[in-house]
Amino acid sequence: MDFLLEIGTEELPADQLVSLVEQLGDLLRQQLLPYAIGCEQIDYWATPRRLAVCWRDLPEQCPERVQEIRGPALERAYDADKRPTPAGLGFAKSCGVAIDALQTKTTTKGAWLVHQRTIQGLPLAELLPDLVMAAVKQLRYPRAMRWSDQPHWFIRPVHWVLALLDTEVLALSLLGQLADRLTYGHRFMFPEAVSIPSVAQYESILKTRGVIADIQQRRNLIIRESEKLATQVDGNLVLDDALVNEITGLVEYPVPILGHFSKDYLTLPAEVLVEVLRHHQKCFALSRQQQILPAFIWISHIQSTCSQSVVAGNERVIQARLSDAAFFFAQDKQQRLDSYLEALADIQWHVKLGSLDDKCQRLVRLTKMLCQQLQRSDSTVCRAARLAKFDLATAMVNEFPVLQGIMGYHYALYFGETAAVARAIKEHNQLIGDEAVWSDDGRILALADRMDTLVGYFSIQLRPTGEKDPYALRRAALGIVQLLIEGQWFMPLQVMLTHAVEGFKLTEIATDTIEALLDYIRERMYQWLLEQAIRPDVIQAVFATKPDDLYDAYLRVIALMTSESSSLSALSQLNKRVSKLLAKSDGLKVDGFDSALVQHDSERCLLTMLKQAEQQQPAMMQARDYQQIIETLGAMSPVMNKFFEETLILHPDPIVRQHRLCILQRLKILFQQVADITLLQLDKI
């Protein structure tokens, strides 16, 4: 059977449609699992006024299932003479059986009395109402509301509920609405209720009523029809995924409309034109050969009979917004650059962390230190650091905050700064991704900015939690990870953090700031590596060494991932054996062995290879040739195996035992130079 649930509401937040409908689908699937009902296929539909989910191929009746109820521990259920105690008898009575009918179950934590009973499967139609209500109650969204005199809470007021099992209406009362087979088409073009005979006809009937319910289909239609319309002016659509997604969540029946604006506004920076169109009217900009055209495409929610009036209205609004932007641009250029820098002292970054001017001063200090670490000139990046936030004092950025950095670039060039300085200002504020292009100066300034932000908020205990991250510190930490790794920069994290902390003139700084930040940034790197398809055990093996250099740690991870599996498997087993033997020793000294105590050829051969590896490894470590280190250690595996076969490590003579344990300690030090290989999972190598 197919079960369809549609919740009809007032207009939903566009950016939450996908999250809500997927949550709903997954929550009901989870509710079905305890009843041994699997659900392999779930279809989703969502528009501004509806969330709809269809769970496919469900059984008409739940299968029988065995329920196991655990009672008291066996030692509490029976006394020393094996007679039932009140606890055992009470459990049997609560289960409705004699105590002899109970079973015993043994686990790693002990033995328990258990009762197993068979539960007959209910018809799906009887089971679903309670499960649907439970799933809806578990939905998570930023804000809930109540409406009318209803006691219910939901993200928006609910106007109807459709619930069908194939062709039958499910007896369900949800959020103050009694489920029916009625739904509604487009609010303006087809406002009347429409009956849905069966689940299979739901989507097609809505389409005849002006509603394209499928999110991806609606999204593709917006792009396809907009691109087709753009050819009328020989232009290309300036695509913005976030804007496309937002528009998809705002309309049920998208109709692209072409509009124009005055060519006079083309003197504004391209980013300003695009942002005005996107921000104020949710319009797509058009371009030709990398130049913005004086035209735009707006997505209407209705097939209007007066399209010319709609176009004229949008053009009028766009014209006014562009006029405002042109005024801000002209006004900003009339000021002196120094006046913006002076204004930063009056703009507070945080009440406990000072002004934006203070932040820029710290950025200059940090960028100097980073340049020293990288052994490069700091003149350009230090100037960019001093100017990094000046555009926050401009009227344009005050109106369009998303243009921070971009307007800094344009204004810096206008005020006579070098192209390199202007570019670094622009780059330091850009999001980090595959398409981001960086200069070294921009990367250094971006690194300093994120480092300063993290240290500042961690110092005053404004740290992100599992649910809240109001200052985007996760993104800042991840940015540090990506900047260092993608820049292939070897830089000690603790040195950078310590230097950043010293830049804050705070009366009180949390004592665990640096340690907490080290752990936090490593956590972000751990998650980032998982997204790069790196095995968790490999990451854990490297992170067990508490790496301070993130790019160096990345090279170790890659070396482990690309090494021969046979070598790693052998090394991991040997390392575990070494660790277990060393765990039985006390007060071990690495230099506490005597070569005169060597008794076997295998021991002598291992010592020879060990000394050779100890001599070679420092140079390989300095060169960061971790692949070669692993191969060198792997070549010792046969000799080590023979050593373990022929030599009694825990010898009765304490002197001989100490000598042999010291050999193992030296081996362990060699092993753990790259990673804690004992943490590698042999079944995954």
Residues 6+ positions from 286 with CB-CB distance below 8 Å: 230, 233, 235, 236, 237, 238, 292, 293, 295, 296, 297
DSSP string covering 593-604: --GGG--SHHHH
* Strand, coil or helix: 63: coil
Instruction: Report the C-alpha gap between 487 and 484 in whole angstroms.
Output: 5
Tokens of 245: 């997604």
Closest CA to 607 of 545, 674, 546, 667: 667
- Average pLDDT of 328-357? 95
Residues 6+ positions from 426 with CB-CB distance below 8 Å: 405, 406, 408, 409, 442
Query: At 249, which helix (H) or strand (E)?
Result: helix 241-250
- Average pLDDT of 585-611? 67
- What is residue 596's predicted lDDT score, i.e. its pLDDT? 58
CA 214, distance to chain mean position in Å, is 26
**Higher model confidence: residue 88 or residue 267?**
267
- What is residue 363's predicted lDDT score, i.e. its pLDDT? 97
Query: At 279, which helix (H) or strand (E)?
Result: helix 270-281
Instruction: Report the C-alpha gap between 202 and 164 in whole angstroms.
Output: 10
User: Considering the entire predicted model, what is its pTM?
Assistant: 0.81
CB 7 within 8 A of CB 50: yes
Closest CA to 526 of 517, 516, 539, 541: 539
Location of structure tokens 């073009």: 189
- Average pLDDT of 548-556? 94
- Average pLDDT of 3-23? 94
Question: How would residue 683 be classed by pLDDT, with cut points 50, 70 and 90?
Answer: low
DSSP string covering 510-546: -TTHHHHHHHHHHHHHHHHHHHTT--HHHHHHHHTT-
Instruction: Report the C-alpha gap between 480 and 500 in whole angstroms.
Output: 13
- What is residue 401's predicted lDDT score, i.e. its pLDDT? 93
CB 264 within 8 A of CB 239: no
Closest CA to 417 of 384, 395, 390: 384
**H-assigned helices in 429-535:** 440-459, 473-487, 493-502, 513-531
Instruction: Report the C-alpha gap between 93 and 114 in whole angstroms.
Output: 13
- What is residue 585's predicted lDDT score, i.e. its pLDDT? 66
Do strands 103-107 and 110-119 pair parallel, antiparallel, or not at all (unpaired)? antiparallel
Cβ neighbours around 149 below 10 Å, total: 6
Look at residue 583 and tell me whether its pLDDT is greater than 80. Answer: no
- Average pLDDT of 554-578? 80
Instruction: Report the C-alpha gap between 535 and 681 in whole angstroms.
Output: 10
Look at residue 597 and tell me whether its pLDDT is greater than 80. Answer: no
- What is residue 149's predicted lDDT score, i.e. its pLDDT? 85
- Average pLDDT of 299-318? 88
- What is residue 595's predicted lDDT score, i.e. its pLDDT? 61
Look at residue 587 and tell me whether its pLDDT is greater than 60. Answer: no
Cβ neighbours around 84 below 10 Å, total: 18
Look at residue 615 and tell me whether its pLDDT is greater than 60. Answer: yes
Phi, psi angles (nearest 5°) of residue 104: -110, 135
Phi, psi angles (nearest 5°) of residue 195: -90, 135
pLDDT tens track for 422-461: 999 999 998 887 567 899 999 999 999 999 999 999 999 8
- What is residue 682's predicted lDDT score, i.e. its pLDDT? 63
CB 298 within 8 A of CB 282: yes
Look at residue 371 and tell me whether its pLDDT is greater than 60. Answer: yes
pLDDT tens track for 502-545: 888 876 777 788 999 999 999 999 999 999 999 999 999 999 98
Query: What is the set of domains in the chain, with CATH numbers?
Result: 3-61+123-208 (no CATH), 65-117 (no CATH), 215-333 (no CATH), 340-533 (1.10.3210), 564-684 (1.10.730.10)
Look at residue 419 and tell me whether its pLDDT is greater than 80. Answer: yes
Alpha-carbon Rg of the chain, whole angstroms?
Answer: 34
Look at residue 567 and tell me whether its pLDDT is greater than 70. Answer: no
Cβ neighbours around 353 below 10 Å, total: 21
**H-assigned helices in 375-472:** 379-387, 395-399, 406-414, 419-428, 440-459
pLDDT tens track for 41-59: 999 999 999 999 999 989 8
